[in-house]
Amino acid sequence: MSGLAPSYLNEIFPNTVNRTNPYPVRNSQNLATMCRRTELFSNSFVPSSAALWNDLPYQLKNSDTLQAFKYELKKVMFTTAIVPSYYNAGERYFSVIHARMRNGCSNLNSDLFRNHLTPNETCDCGVEKEDAEHFFFKCNKYTNARQKLFQSTRRFHPISCSKLLLGISNLSDKDNSFLFTEVQKYIKDTNRFKQ
């Protein structure tokens, strides 16, 4: 990356690259760290950027072009998890509601309250807060739909809220797709989330 930085950055970091060692060592591309007395200065641009640069992998610092550096940096900084295929199971509308419940941003009163969109988190049944646990297992308004859900998912018992929202890690994608489809049928049968 030598010589690819803008001139104003080369002026800020003059002679800070460790050039005192004549041997090719891994930290030859590191920037010299500055003495710092306060946390405020440690978090300012020059010291923090030198520390970030020094923490980069050796191969990344030795990229041939700026485009190659950016590409490799994105791979290092923004690793993405693979989303399981069964997260897309079921009807689109109810799959979206299911995902919102999984992420804590559904129209359940507990989620709305946590996101400052409603003044309280109590359920319409008046018993307790309306979170996913209450919706799936406790609310007396959905007893019939709950019985159908529990009967259709009997082979996955004991069932929990996290299993209904995230799937079961030791099951196949096909079994998890079935489970998610049944959960979404429950969501539909409750009529809690009207279209």
pLDDT digits (tens, 9 = 90+) for 115-173: 889 999 999 888 779 999 999 999 999 999 999 999 999 999 999 999 999 999 899 99
Burial of 55 (0-12, 13-18, 19+ CB in 10 A): exposed
With tokens 């799936």, the residue in question is: 136
For 90-112, the DSSP string reads S-HHHHHHHHHHHTT-SSSHHHH
Q: Residue 95: CA atoms inside 13 Å, Cβ hemisphere, count? A: 11
Q: Which residues contact 113 (CB under 8 A, 6 or more apart)?
A: 119, 120, 121, 129
Quick one: which H or E segment has residue 11?
helix 7-12
pTM for this one? Answer: 0.60
Nearest-5° angle of CA 94, CA 96, CA 97? 65
**Looking at residue 82, what DSSP letter applies?**
P
Question: What pLDDT does residue 136 have?
Answer: 95
pLDDT tens, 62-96?
788 888 888 888 887 777 778 889 999 999 999 99
